[in-house]
Amino acid sequence: MVKHLSFFLIGISISIGSFAQTATAEKVKLYNPLADAKADMKTAIAQAVKEGKFVLLEVGGNWCSWCYRFEDAVNKNDTLKIALQNNFVMYHLNYSSENKNEEVMASLGYPQRFGFPVFVILDSKGTRLHTQNSAYLEEGKGYDSKKILEFFNHWSPTALDPKSYEKK
């Protein structure tokens, strides 16, 4: 009886653990290989216009561990999170074996040449302003918060507004 109860409890534990892993894996997916990237980018640009921001494309895929490291670095640091939210509309642009979004990549100047993730900043008209190799934001086995903040600040709408540099 005790032996059967032990097997039953082990079975329940494995089932619960499997369910929790599946739920977590589904919850943390950043990229949608089935998304219509062109339409989604138009929506992001429209939102950026409305909010006075730029669009920050994070090009990568659910397979990309450094993409998740970047998300963790930003979301666990209030200063970075606020800088991102105040200046950019973020869109996770999928690049994977399921969908390489080749037409979009070509229109963006083939940012995949820099590895993944790679960041592309678009202005309120959808014009590519900058492509950022993420290696320049890294430190050791993660990201450097000072480098990320500098990147966000240097490519913010305010930084590129000529009025910011007028003599007062």
**Location of structure tokens 């499997």:** 18
pLDDT band at 168 (very low <50, low <70, confident <90, very high): confident
Query: At residue 167, does pLDDT exceed 90?
Result: no
Residue 10: the pLDDT is 47
Tens digit of each residue's pLDDT (9 = 90 or more) over 110-133: 999 999 999 999 999 999 999 999
Query: At residue 3, does pLDDT exceed 60?
Result: no
pLDDT band at 28 (very low <50, low <70, confident <90, very high): confident
The residue ranking higher by pLDDT, 150 or 4, is 150
Among 17-31, 53-67, 73-87, 142-156, which stretch is predicted with the lowest mean pLDDT?
A: 17-31
Query: At residue 26, does pLDDT exceed 90?
Result: no
Q: How is the chain split into domains, by residue range? A: 37-165
Cα-Cα end-to-end distance for the chain: 85
Q: Are strands 54-60 and 88-94 parallel, antiparallel or unpaired?
A: parallel
Which region holds residue 126: left if phi is over 0, alpha if psi is between -120 and 50, else beta?
A: left
Instruction: Residues 37-165: name the CATH superfamily.
Output: Glutaredoxin (3.40.30.10)
Q: Can you list the positions of beta strands (E) in 26-94?
A: 54-60, 88-94
The Cα-based distances of 1 to 26, 47, 68 in angstroms read 38, 62, 46
pLDDT band at 27 (very low <50, low <70, confident <90, very high): low
Tens digit of each residue's pLDDT (9 = 90 or more) over 129-140: 999 999 999 999
